[in-house]
Structure 1
Amino acid sequence: MTEQMQVQLKKGALELCVLALLARGESYAYEIASSLAAGVGIGEGTIYPLMRRMQDDKLVETRLAESNSGPPRKYYRLTPAGRAAFTAQKREWRSFADAVNTLLGER
């Protein structure tokens, strides 16, 4: 797979992956970025603008909490709209993946 194709696939799935992580429980951006880097190879720099947009879109809400290792951390959690978006995007992803798998002769 070409690097450009990998980048486009990751961009397309990034919000869904963040929603999936937050569906498990609240988290702070660095922790989310670390999980994405380990799981699908998405770099930390792409997370912060997405988190801001998701907050502006009311998909997530935040709270500040003291940290033992530095400044307070901003924790993100899904709003009801974020949970609905996760459910819808997960359904759309599965439908798309099924269609691609059918075209590839894997279904």
Structure 2
Amino acid sequence: MTRIGQDAQIRLVDEHGEDVADGKVGELLLRGANLFAGYWNDPQATAESMKGGWYHTGDLMQRGEDSELLFVGRKKDIITREGRVSIPARGAAPVEPSTVKRLDIRPCTN
């Protein structure tokens, strides 16, 4: 778990909700006092995304050196065939994690 700001926390988890090691891809979860309470007039979408006090973004990230986060793709866009995982770009061939944009998100050291 990493703190971002005073009250916000993030986690990267696998498909079982377990924290992933640095360098591994996981879904980005958020928790904090400044997070929205749910989707307007859509309790089903809220229930699907808010689990155990964490907001499941559907974004797949990888934590690299110095705790920087690398956006890899969207969870709904994953294709698994014969044990190989592909994350296709819209209308393009699968994108390797090394080719996507790095996000400048760093943990607080409070």
Q: TM-score range by the shorter chain?
A: under 0.3
TM-score normalised over the length of structure 2: 0.27
Whose RCO is larger (CA < 8 A, sep 6+)?
A: 1
Pick the structure with more helix per residue.
Answer: 1
TM-score normalised over the length of structure 1: 0.28
Pick the structure with more strand per residue.
Answer: 2
